[in-house]
A and B are shown apart, each in its own frame.
Chain A
Amino acid sequence: MSDDFLSREEAAAAAANGERGRDTRAYLTGFALAVLLTVPPFVLAWTGVLPRGTTLWVIAVAALVQIVVHLRYFLHVDLSRQKREDLQLILFTVLLLALMGGGTIWILSDLAYRMH
């Protein structure tokens, strides 16, 4: 976080170092990866060339990878020490979401199966 609060001099020095270019390229990389991960699922869903099950898998995997891309390039979550608490928090939330969402779908689909 602290690198978002550079003083004017630090910012000028960083820009002279080419850091500004790297920052811009990072956002553009994220954007390009996001586009790359969005277009194929759309094409598959639109044309329906692959079997339904396969397409669903592609959509799910592309979405998960794209979420990681967003976290990495836009939300700047990485493995560095100062971001570790954020990462732990996200992983914990993912665990809870898996428990809650997965549990919900499991329980209610089980129920639906038995009710029909």
Chain B
Amino acid sequence: MMDSPIFGRLTFDDIAPLAVFRNFSLNELVASGAGWLEVFAAVGVVAALTYFRLWGPLWREWLTSQDHKKIGIMYMVLGFVMMARGVAEGVIMRGHLATALDGGILAPEHFAELFSTHGTIMIFFVAMPFITGFMNFLIPLQIGSRDMAFPLMNQISLGMTAAGAMLLLVSLVVGQFETGGWAAYPPFTGAAFQPGVGPDYWIWAIVVSGFGSMLSGINFAVTIYKMRAPGMTYMRMPVFCWTALCTAILLAFAMPPLTVAALMQALDRYLDFHFFTNDLGGNMMNYANLFWMFGHPEVYILILPAYGIYSELTATYSAKTLYGYTSLVLATMCIAVMSFTVWVHHFFTMGNSATVNVAFGIATMLIAIPTGVKMYVWLATLYRGRIRMTVPMIYLGGFMVLFVLGGLSGIILANPTINYQVHNTQFIVAHFHNVILPGVVFATLAGIHMWFPKAFGYRLEEGPARLSAILWIVGFSATFLPLYVVGLLGYPRRSASYTDPVFEPYMIFTALGSLLILAAFATFAWVFWVSWRNRAALAVPLGDPWDGRTLEWATPAPVPEYNFAVIPVIGTREPFAVEKASGRPYVRPDEYEDIRLPAPSGVGFVLCVCAGVFGFAMTWWIWWLAAISLVAIPTVLVVRSFFPDRMVTIPADEVRRDTEAWLRAIDAASGVDRGEELTSANRGFARTDLKEAA
């Protein structure tokens, strides 16, 4: 190795977009084209920010903000940016497979890289930011708090996640990503078989963002434990907060196995240790064990908040108290604990005894029971509810049918003997897309439709959003349901080509299906655009467009930085709904006090840069840079700890002025019936006919 002391193993030849000029082929064109696209997109964003003079506002109001709502929104934006790449990669892979009878348009190596980045991006940098974004935005609002327990740490978590995402994006342009799938199993990703930078990109993206996720978990857990408004007992918390609490605990305790696995892999690759190697006592099954000890709780980290979102929207859009709150809470807790007892079902075929497999198979089947409980809870809530078929309810409908299907295929897979037959086939691909897409992605999109007005003060256009929802449901079904059949026919997952022509029609069909998903994604982006243009007619400044039930709807939209002019005192489970039913829904404070909030801080951004640079330098063996950026992280924190926390005070008069203006507007408003909530008559003041009391 001729490594430069300054650039490590980074050379000019590693700039991927230039490869197409050296060696022209369709494969290179796709790879380099993606790189060019990303470079142009980055340049375009920089240019647009400069042209519209947005750097200042971006820095002052967003990047340095410690406001949980803004951090939540930034997580969502990060998720969408990464999702654009993930969806595009999915479509390219499907396009390749449609032509892959005895070949295909891409090189096998390139295909392997695509499914690795696609999986890594979709799990760690799309689904995780989405659920973290929701938890950030909603938890303090729903429990009646001004902010998270640790606002600065919240900012740092976002920075870590963003740094990991940046490493993924950079890997498209500089060097290449690994080819061992999102789980990056050694020894295939070990130094002996993949000496390049690919697995190192994976390691540092995972380690850096994993730390961020663990810190998020601690933050959410402490916020829910310690920051609830007076009177909000555990059993009065909104269901979303319950699911968020369980997720937070999972984040704090399930991220360590992943970090440990990735760090051991790093020791193997960098220092020639023997954790997972083939020789000298290494055992690759230790990796599988550690990875899935994280991987299975991870599934529930993603799905539990989605359950929370579905619970909230079911109750809201059927205008009914959630049926079976207690059983839902108990089911959530059961799932959280049981999710730590099933991980072996991801590697039943490792070669252990039937006793082990049966134990984990039974545990896997048991965990379906609390999940089933939830399904019945939602059905019972819908039953005799006054349902409006709005966009979130369309997603809910798609979710209910498709998710049950995915769950049933999970039960099939829980049986080790059947699992042996379909292990590593497209059946698995069908199964996990079947649970994650309708489960997590649909919940995210439905939740965005529901809470977007709360965050930005205007609703999303209903028409295009309905189109997008239907495209998602149809596109998903067309793309992934056929893969069950393909898997049963014996088509292995992750194989770049096939020789049996029987697969070809299925592959062409699913490729067309993936175009529908692309259309659904594009339509969703378009929804934001048309809604923004039409924001005056869609505005709901009074804050309660859907006749909501929980605390966050009792605030103006967009929510002021301090969330609540005064911290509410809670006496029931659905305080806002109950108070609306009794006719006195909004708090009219007698006196106001100054509100102190943490001042903007650049620490999160600085650590984001340090962590990102560290990951990049480690990946490329630029040791001096890695050392500097690694030492910089604790140094920044220690130096900062010598200075007092800067706070901003919002004077009582300002709070009074804004709150009273809002309350006057509510008094003047005539209120909107549920039947008219999709018209421009909806200004966010619901004329409720809720009678029941929780």
A and B touch in the complex (CB under 8 A): yes
Tell me which residues across on chain B come within 8 A of A103, comparing CB atoms: 293, 341, 343-344
A92 to B225, CA, bound (A): 15
Tell me which residues across on chain A come within 8 A of B356, comparing CB atoms: 106-107, 110
Q: Is the CB of A85 within 8 A of B225?
A: yes
Q: Is the CB of B285 within 8 A of A100?
A: no
Residue B641 at the chain A interface, CB threshold 8 Å: no
Contact with B along A98-110 (1 / 0, CB 8 A): 0110011011101
Residue A93 at the chain B interface, CB threshold 8 Å: yes
Picked from A93, A96, A110, the residue with its CB within 8 Å of the CB of B353 is A110
A46 to B94, CA, bound (A): 64
Q: Is the CB of B289 within 8 A of A104?
A: yes
Q: Is the CB of B351 within 8 A of A93?
A: no
Picked from B253, B337, B351, the residue with its CB within 8 Å of the CB of A111 is B351
**Chain B, residue nearest A97 (CB):** B253
Q: Is the CB of A108 within 8 A of B340?
A: no
Contact with A along B34-69 (1 / 0, CB 8 A): 000000000000000000000000000000000000
A63 to B313, CA, bound (A): 50
Most chain A CB inside 10 Å of its own CB: which residue of B341, B344, B356? B356
Given contacts A96-B340, A108-B286, contact A114 B253 (CB under 8 A): no
Q: Is the CB of B285 within 8 A of A108?
A: yes
Tell me which residues across on chain B come within 8 A of A100, comparing CB atoms: 257, 293, 340
A93 to B337, CA, bound (A): 11
List residues 214-250 of chain B with CB under 8 A from any CB of chain A: 225, 249
Residue B283 at the chain A interface, CB threshold 8 Å: yes
Q: How far is the CB of B334 from chain A (nearest CB, A)?
A: 13
Q: Is the CB of A108 within 8 A of B289?
A: yes
Residue B23 at the chain A interface, CB threshold 8 Å: no
List residues 68-116 of chain A with CB under 8 A from any CB of chain B: 85, 92-93, 95-96, 99-100, 103-104, 106-108, 110-111, 113-115
Q: Is the CB of B289 within 8 A of A107?
A: yes
Contact with A along B341-356 (1 / 0, CB 8 A): 1011000001111011
Q: Is the CB of B350 within 8 A of A99?
A: no
A115 to B284, CA, bound (A): 13
A14 to B144, CA, bound (A): 38
Most chain B CB inside 10 Å of its own CB: which residue of A92, A100, A113? A100
Tell me which residues across on chain A come within 8 A of B249, comparing CB atoms: 92
A96 to B352, CA, bound (A): 22
Tell me which residues across on chain A come within 8 A of B293, comparing CB atoms: 100, 103-104
**Chain A, residue nearest B225 (CB):** A85
**Chain A, residue nearest B341 (CB):** A99
A96 to B290, CA, bound (A): 14
List residues 340-377 of chain B with CB under 8 A from any CB of chain A: 340-341, 343-344, 350-353, 355-356
Picked from B253, B283, B350, B355, the residue with its CB within 8 Å of the CB of A96 is B253
Picked from B225, B283, B355, the residue with its CB within 8 Å of the CB of A108 is B283
A98 to B161, CA, bound (A): 30
Picked from A99, A107, A110, A113, the residue with its CB within 8 Å of the CB of B340 is A99
A78 to B225, CA, bound (A): 19
Q: How far is the CB of A107 from chain B (nearest CB, A)?
A: 6
Tell me which residues across on chain A come within 8 A of B290, comparing CB atoms: 104
Tell me which residues across on chain A come within 8 A of B353, comparing CB atoms: 110, 113-114
What 8 pairs across the A-B complex have the smallest Cβ distances? A111-B352, A110-B352, A99-B340, A110-B356, A110-B353, A96-B253, A104-B289, A100-B293
On B, residues with C-beta under 8 Å from A are 225, 249, 253, 257, 283, 285-286, 289-290, 293, 337, 340-341, 343-344, 350-353, 355-356
Given contact pairs A92-B249, A103-B293, enumerate 18 new A-B contacts (beta carbons under 8 Å): A85-B225, A93-B253, A95-B337, A96-B340, A99-B341, A100-B257, A100-B293, A100-B340, A103-B343, A104-B290, A107-B356, A108-B283, A110-B352, A110-B355, A111-B352, A113-B353, A114-B351, A114-B352
- List 13 contacting pairs A-B, 8 Å CB cutoff, sorted by A: A92-B249, A95-B337, A99-B341, A103-B293, A103-B343, A104-B290, A104-B293, A107-B356, A108-B286, A110-B352, A110-B356, A111-B350, A111-B352
